[in-house]
Amino acid sequence: MAEHLTEHIVFNKPKIELHVHLDGAIRVETILDVAERRGITLPACTVKEMTHICVVHQPATLTEFLGKFTEYMHIIAGDREAIKRIAYEFVEDKAKEGVIYVEVRYSPHFLANTDVEPIPWNQKEGDLSPDEVVRLVNQGLADGEKAFNIIARSILCCMRHMPSWSMGVVELCKKYKKDGVVAIDLAGDESLNCEAYPGHRMAYEEAERCGVHRTVHAGEVGPASVVKEAVEVLKAERIGHGYNTLEDQVLYKQLLEQNMHFEVCPISSKLTGACDPDFTKHPVITFRKDKANYSLNTDDPLIFNSTLHLDYSTAQKYMGFTEEEFKRLNINSANSSFLPEKEKKDLVNKLYEAYGMVENTGF
């Protein structure tokens, strides 16, 4: 996209990222490598050609955007080495962007080829279960943490169109709570299935009962009622995107009072058609003016051909964001992370120190 050419680093300080999909953040080189090793033919053989295939170039719809995953997920899914590798490389890429704490999300079922019904991406049945996928990602993230000196935690996604997977997802969240899995999410096509099915509701009830943190994609392209349901029924503690909350001012004011965290993804919101392509009209400008609690995130940097720097420079260039606001939103992000309290406090203090601020004299 054009902005890429003028991208520069506008906030070269430690950052927090809370909303990024592992399977939307894979290196194109890795897709090509793995395809070659596995003997899978791709419609492209250079990074440039493959990038062109994977990327959304013009504002599209969420449904069209989600279709991009079918271009490459069959390459990575079902392959132990590839799954560990994408997790490790993800941590390296985030460290290079100056991220010191990241929560990365994915659907374990989408990367498996057994114990999952239906088996995704037209794979043949194999022997890689969603449970083992989580262990492999955990291993890749842990190796990356050691190598690149950042903290990486994970969030497991339920998918809107697959309520039958959701109880399995929450069980994995419980099982791997001590192993870096910090929360459950509900992702997928909100424009097709906006009401949470019983399968999702039961999984979120179980999550709440067991102290598993909860975030939900809501109000990205769906109406404010999806956000309301996420908060009131699914007991979401954070909202993925949440732009359309602004359509219901009563709800919005209530969420401002509750200090609800919105995981905002500027570049994503343009290319999925969630928001007006004119960034000067973006909902995060209202969030900022109202001193709402939100983060800035990439969402799916592979498919948007973007970096976290691009989201920040876009916020600065078109939305009037300042260095002070970048600091404020990162401190809010750290405070809204799903880390245990003590670790969260340490993270917040790290930011205060890096930003040359004394705690509590801030905003």
Q: Does 23 bind ligand 2ND (CB under 6 A)?
A: yes
**Listed ranges 102-110, 111-119, 222-230, 349-357: which one lies at the site for ligand 2ND (CB under 6 A):** 102-110
Q: Does 157 bind ligand 2ND (CB under 6 A)?
A: yes
CA distance 179 to 312: 31
What pairs with residue 20 in β-bridges? 104, 299
146, 125 contact by CB (below 8 A): no
When the beta carbons of 109 and 328 are compared against ligand 2ND, the nearer one is: 109
Q: Does 183 bind ligand 2ND (CB under 6 A)?
A: no
Residue in 21, 68, 200, 282 binding ligand 2ND, rule: CB under 6 A: 21
Q: Does 103 bind ligand 2ND (CB under 6 A)?
A: no
**Catalytic site residue from 190, 220, 229, 263:** 220
When the beta carbons of 268 and 337 are compared against ligand 2ND, the nearer one is: 268
Q: Does 24 bind ligand 2ND (CB under 6 A)?
A: yes
Can the peptide bond before residue 118 be classed as cis, meaning omega within 30 degrees of 0?
yes
Helix axes 80-96, 130-148, angle to 10 degrees: 40
When the beta carbons of 200 and 328 are compared against ligand 2ND, the nearer one is: 200
At closest approach, how far in Å is the CB of 190 from ligand 2ND?
A: 7
Q: Does 107 bind ligand 2ND (CB under 6 A)?
A: yes
Catalytic residue check, 323: no
Residue in 72, 88, 106, 262 binding ligand 2ND, rule: CB under 6 A: 106
Residue in 90, 110, 243, 279 binding ligand 2ND, rule: CB under 6 A: 110
9: Cβ contacts below 8 Å, ≥ 6 apart: 309, 312, 313
Burial group, residue 127, by CB count within 10 angstroms (0-12, 13-18, 19+): exposed
**Listed ranges 17-25, 45-53, 88-96, 229-237: which one lies at the site for ligand 2ND (CB under 6 A):** 17-25
At closest approach, how far in Å is the CB of 160 from ligand 2ND?
A: 8
At closest approach, how far in Å is the CB of 326 from ligand 2ND?
A: 22
When the beta carbons of 14 and 120 are compared against ligand 2ND, the nearer one is: 120
At closest approach, how far in Å is the CB of 226 from ligand 2ND?
A: 12
Residue in 111, 162, 187, 331 binding ligand 2ND, rule: CB under 6 A: 187
Residue in 79, 97, 220, 325 binding ligand 2ND, rule: CB under 6 A: 220
Q: Does 312 bind ligand 2ND (CB under 6 A)?
A: no
Alpha carbon distances (Å) from 99 to 13, 15, 19, 265: 8, 5, 12, 15
CA distance 269 to 267: 5
When the beta carbons of 134 and 348 are compared against ligand 2ND, the nearer one is: 134
When the beta carbons of 21 and 288 are compared against ligand 2ND, the nearer one is: 21
What binding mask, one character per residue, do residues 263-282 give for ligand 2ND by CB under 6 A, x or -?
A: -----x---x----------
When the beta carbons of 160 and 328 are compared against ligand 2ND, the nearer one is: 160
Q: Does 17 bind ligand 2ND (CB under 6 A)?
A: no
Structure-block tokens of residue 69? 């995953």
Residues at the site binding ligand 2ND, with contacts judged by CB under 6 A: 21, 23-24, 66, 69, 105-107, 110, 157, 187-188, 217, 220, 268, 272, 299-300
Known catalytic residues are 220
